[in-house]
Amino acid sequence: MSSIGTDTNHDHDSLSVKDASTGTAQTSSYAASSVTVEVSERATVRRVDWRMLPLLGFLYSVTIIDRSNMGIARTAGMGDQLGLDDGNRFSVVSCVYFIPYILLQLPTNLVLRKFGARNCLTFYIFGWGCVEIGMGFCKSWKTLAWCRVLLGAFEAGFFPALIYIVSTWYTRQEVQTRIAGFLQGSIAISGFGAVLSYVLTLMDGIGGYRGWSWIFIIEGIATVGCSFLGFFFVPDFPDKNNFLTKEQTKIILRRVEDDRGDSVPDGITRSKIVHHLKDWVLWAHGFFSPIILFGMGWSVSETLLLSAPPLVAAALSAFIFAWVSDRSGQRGIFIAIQSCMTITGMLITGYADGNGVRYFGIFVFSAGASGCMSSIIAYNANNIAGQSKRSVSSALLVSFGGIGGILGTTVFRQADYPRYIPGMWAIIGAQILMLSLLSVTTITYSTLNKRAKKTGEPLEGQVGFFYIL
């Protein structure tokens, strides 16, 4: 009996050891599998980063360069040759660009999925490149004005499409860093645009054309070339991409679905568009955009805001705020901080004594105004579920930005030189208004989050979705 009992105990001990070994092996296998999935996910996101952000940043820098070469062309002889210095002709030619730019934002974004992001972006870039070439051959200011109208029409759909596309690839906690990356990177690249334009003015007289004509002709040809670059390499929406494997595509779609439940696009219908346009929060978000661009009104004084050091500081500040904001999962507080930086910088620049202190003020408000743009784009993208609403909201955001561009070019009058006090107070007032709107949206989002947690009622039609404050 004793012998039998001993054998039984031995068998039991052996079985326990085997079970323990099996459990340990299973745990180890699960842990290893989790690590493998995490590594694969990180690698996939990095591949998307490198394929998308440098290219989109470069292409957006092309739009900035093409849009901002009017001033240099004017000083290079265009003003005299086309009679732009008579009356308000130059202001008319500059402002007519914004009419189609504002009006066509929403329609172009609504057809983006139907025709494909790559096809649409290629068409836009090719179109405005051809228009810019044509601007080099203009013989009158009226012809130039019509070219500017066409330029605004082709460029209208570009930036909202970039925002829409980027927001569909990443989770809400990742999007601001990515937007800051391509946006600030493009601004840094575009800083070389003035140098390029100056070099092209040295071609004055070649082929019988003035230097200002060569600015438009050469830069237009380069833009047309970029359209082919876009056709072959611009990534489409995640579900339509052709550069990831099927498994990698599933990883991207799963991450977006887990984050906000809109990896599968919902159809865009007239009733949905009307419904989204009735959402007052979208309009509030849209109003943030012109205030920020309005806050960058110093751009009319090219020796100040557009000088390299403040731009470098602004880019660095934007990256830091974007990184901290993504890590903390907070948006509103950082928008408020950067808005206060804009106000502080304006006051320093307007009222401080000594050029050194005033120049420091330019660094402060440049960092606040420029960096806040990516924060607002992320704030808008984070609090939307459903691709039809995302399409409408990104178009509204950028179209309102066009209004801010118009305001920013009118408040800094030469009569107020050198401190531009009225323009500065206009910007400060706009920043205070934005802070008020931010308070309203934050209270609204917070209230809706609490109600959803208490009642279980889904927000934005997505179970488990909560607004990011």
The encoded tokens of residue 323 equal 């990184």
Largest CA distance in the chain: 118
pLDDT of residue 3: 43
CA neighbor of 394 nearest in space, from 404, 405, 372, 379: 379
User: What is the C-alpha to C-alpha distance for residues 179 and 175, in angstroms, rounded to an integer?
Assistant: 6
User: What is the C-alpha to C-alpha distance for residues 376 and 395, in angstroms, rounded to an integer?
Assistant: 14
- Give pLDDT tens digits along the chain (469 positions): 444 444 444 444 443 444 444 554 454 544 445 556 666 888 999 999 999 889 988 898 888 888 778 877 887 889 889 998 788 788 788 888 888 988 898 889 888 888 988 999 999 999 999 999 999 999 999 999 999 999 999 999 998 899 888 889 999 989 889 988 888 777 777 667 777 888 888 898 899 999 999 999 999 999 999 999 989 998 889 988 889 999 999 999 999 888 888 777 666 655 544 444 444 444 444 434 344 344 434 343 343 334 557 777 788 888 899 999 999 989 999 999 999 999 998 898 888 887 778 878 888 888 888 788 888 888 888 888 888 888 888 888 877 777 766 776 667 665 676 677 887 888 888 889 889 989 999 999 999 999 999 998 888 888 888 999 8
pLDDT of residue 89: 85
Compute CA 213 distance to the chain's CA centroid, rounded to the nearest angstrom. 31
Instruction: Concatenate the DSSP letters of all residues of 233-295 into one string.
Output: H----GGG-SSS-HHHHHHHHHHHHHHHS-SSPPP--HHHHHHHHT-HHHHHHHHHHHHHHHH
pLDDT of residue 409: 60
Task: Kindly give, in sequence order, each residue whose CB lies less than 8 Å from that of residue 266, ignoring residues fewer than 6 positions away.
Answer: 272, 386, 387, 388
Single-letter residue type at 54: P
pLDDT of residue 66: 80
Q: 3-state DSSP call for residue 116?
A: coil
CA neighbor of 57 nearest in space, from 233, 200, 214: 233
| 345-354 contacts, C-beta under 8 A, 24 or more apart | 346/424, 346/427, 346/428, 347/424, 347/428, 349/419, 349/424, 350/419, 350/420, 350/421, 350/424, 351/419
User: What is the C-alpha to C-alpha distance for residues 139 and 81, in angstroms, rounded to an integer?
Assistant: 8
